[in-house]
Amino acid sequence: KAGVTQTPRYLIKTRGQQVTLSCSPISGHRSVSWYQQTPGQGLQFLFEYFSETQRNKGNFPGRFSGRQFSNSRSEMNVSTLELGDSALYLCASSLMRGGGDTQYFGPGTRLTVL
Amino acid sequence: AQSVTQLDSQVPVFEEAPVELRCNYSSSVSVYLFWYVQYPNQGLQLLLKYLSGSTLVESINGFEAEFNKSQTSFHLRKPSVHISDTAEYFCAVMDTGFQKLVFGTGTRLLVSP
C-alpha cells in the first residue's frame, strides 16, 4: 500500500500570502490529522478530520483551516501568512479514530515564509 | 491538558552500548502511549505503542518500552544501539476516545562508532 503523500514537499511564500497544502491518506484510512513542527514549539496538533467533519482542533488562530473530501483526501489552508508560520507541516492518517489507532505520517511539507 | 516531558534533549552513546530515553506524561487517566522516530528530512515513523495489557511493549528493531502507571512514565530502551539508530525520538500520549497526539519535545540520539 502506498503511504501518506503530501504535496508540495517544499513551498516558499511571502508574508501576507495564503497557502494550501494537500494530503492523501493511506487507502482506506478515514481519519486525517495535521501537525505543525517548528524548532521552538515542537510538534503541535492543528486539527483532525473524519468523514469530512472536523472532529478536533488545536490552539491555532483562525487563519489556519482545513477540509476533508469524500475520498478522505485533506487540505489545509493558511491565510495571511506570518514569518512564524514557517514550519514543517505533517499530515497523518489512521484507519479509524479512537482506540489508539496508529497514525501514519507523511513526509511533510516544508513551508518557508519570507 | 495532557503534557509529555522528555528530560533529555540529546543523548550521545557509543555503538553497541545500551540506551534509555526517558518519557513522563502528566495525567494518570486512561491514555495510550507512543514512541515515534524521525530521521532527517522525513516524517515520523511509529516505533511502538502501548494500548493496554502487558506493560512491556517491543518493536521489531530491538527497542522496548515499559508503561509504568504509578510513575506515569514510558521510557524507551535498547540493549545495544547501532549507528543507524541515530535519529530524533518523540514520545506521545493520546487520551482514549480522541485522535489527538500530544508530543514531547524530542530526544536526539547520537550514536558514534
pLDDT tens sequence across B15-68:
999 999 999 998 767 889 999 999 988 889 999 999 988 888 889 889 999 999
Cβ–Cβ gap A58/B94 under 8 Å: no
Cβ–Cβ gap A92/B102 under 8 Å: no
Q: Which helix (H) or strand (E) holds A56?
A: strand A53-57
* Closest alpha carbon to B86 in B48, B19, B39: B39
* pLDDT tens, residue by residue, A31-81: 999 999 999 899 999 999 999 999 999 999 999 999 999 999 999 999 999
* Closest alpha carbon to B28 in B54, B3, B56: B3
Nearest CA in chain B to A5: B43
pLDDT of A99 over the 80 cut: no
CA distance B82 to chain A (A): 24
Tell me the count of A-B CB pairs closer than 8 A. Answer: 63
